[in-house]
Amino acid sequence: MRAVVTGGAGFIGSALLRHLRASGADSVVAFDNLNSGHRHNLPAADPAVSLTLGDIRDYDAVCAAFAGADFVFHLAAIPSVPRSINDPVPSHDVNINGSFNVFRAAQHCGVRRVVYAASSSAYGDTPTLPKVESMQPNPKSPYAAQKLMGEHYASVFASCFGLETVSLRFFNVFGPRQDPGSPYSGVLSLFMKALIEGQPPTIFGDGEQSRDFTYVEDVAALVYKAALAPSVSGMVFNAGNGDRYTLNQTWDFLKQIAGSDLAASYGPSRPGDVRDSQADTTLARRYLNHAPQFTFEEGLRRTFQWYRESLA
């Protein structure tokens, strides 16, 4: 397998490229503009992993990077619901126009399949839990709408242009290397940093909103399966654990792991925030043989250990 991972220097992308190499991929190119990714996320001592600096908005650069690739894993994006509300133009441009370039270039270069990182945010506040792929999407933020548009392009490139594509709706992925350096960072990375620095985190709203936090190595394994599974082109799958925890429960859990009694502060709810999120994993189990290996607690322990070593 010769693979390109867009966003390969990011938190999830760099876990994926390690998984691809461990699963026997011959070469993996991380295509990344280092906007939110980091060179230091890439494995230092693996000559089969390389970084191509480039932006998915640059069609020619994307095309050049995809030449000779069998598989493309499209993870590059400007994430974050609040960022897409505060500054919608860049996220629209990267997440929609950039994704269009990726599909177009993959088709042009004869790539066998593109696996696209979609988002659980597409569901919005649909009242039923868990969220099933057959539900009508209901995006509540520009980010959610952009990620949903990427899914539509993925399926249209499959039906109109014969490019094999699979979309995976990632559910709040967490784990080592998630960058806590921005107010837009994922909540668990901010919780970890807060505990290590002894500074209270802010919980937006009452903390009773819930998420299906999914450990990054389980997501990487699922993405790889989506590349190889037969008869799934054009389909959309949840990539979640199937559980949900409130932020209050999660903060308490983490404090136990860290042996801390730090109290969180509370602030106003965030616009565009989804209240509850939980994946139905039936479809992924059936078609992709999905079987998460990490409980939430185990994922939290491993992640906290990583932050303790790397932020200390």
Which residues contact ligand UD2 (rule: CB under 6 A)? Answer: 79-81, 119-121, 170-172, 186-187, 190, 201-204, 209, 211, 247, 270, 273-274, 277
How buried is 292 (Cβ within 10 angstroms: 0-12 exposed, 13-18 middle, 19+ buried)? buried
Q: Shortest gap between Cβ of 248 and ligand UD2 (angstroms)?
A: 10
Three-class SS of residue 260?
coil
| Nearest-approach distance from CB 8 to ligand UD2, in angstroms | 17
Contacts of 304 (CB under 8 A, 6+ apart): 192, 195, 254, 257, 258
Nearest to 20 by CA among 75, 57, 95, 98: 75
Distance CA 137, CA 60 (A): 33
Task: Give the position of tokens 């490019």.
Answer: 163
- Using the minimum distance from each CB to ligand UD2, give the nearer residue, 45 or 89: 89
| Least distance between ligand UD2 and beta carbon 296 (Å) | 14
In whole angstroms, how close is the CB of 51 to ligand UD2 at the nearest point?
Answer: 23
- Residue in this structure with the two tokens 């997501």, named with its chain if needed: 219
Please, which residues bridge with residue 170 across strands?
119, 239
What's the half-sphere exposure (Cβ side, CA atoms, 13 Å) at 279?
A: 28
Q: Which of 105/192 has CB closer to ligand UD2? A: 192
Q: Which is nearer to ligand UD2, 69 or 96 (CB)?
A: 96
**Residue with Cβ nearer ligand UD2 (12 or 105):** 12
- Least distance (Å) from ligand UD2 to the CB of residue 121? 3
Identity of the residue, 178 or 233, whose beta carbon is nearer to ligand UD2 in the bound complex? 178
Q: CB of residue 277 vs ligand UD2: minimum separation in angstroms?
A: 4
Minimum CB separation of residue 80 from ligand UD2 in Å reads 4
State which amino acid sits at residue 172: N
Q: Within 10 A of 125 (CB to CB), how many other CB atoms are there?
A: 11
* Tokens at 52, concatenated: 């191509």
Question: Which CB sits closer to ligand UD2, 130 or 201?
Answer: 201
200's CB contacts (< 8 A; 6+ apart) are 194, 262, 263, 264, 265
> Which CB, 18 or 83, lies closer to ligand UD2?
83
| Closest residue to ligand UD2, based on beta-carbon distance | 121
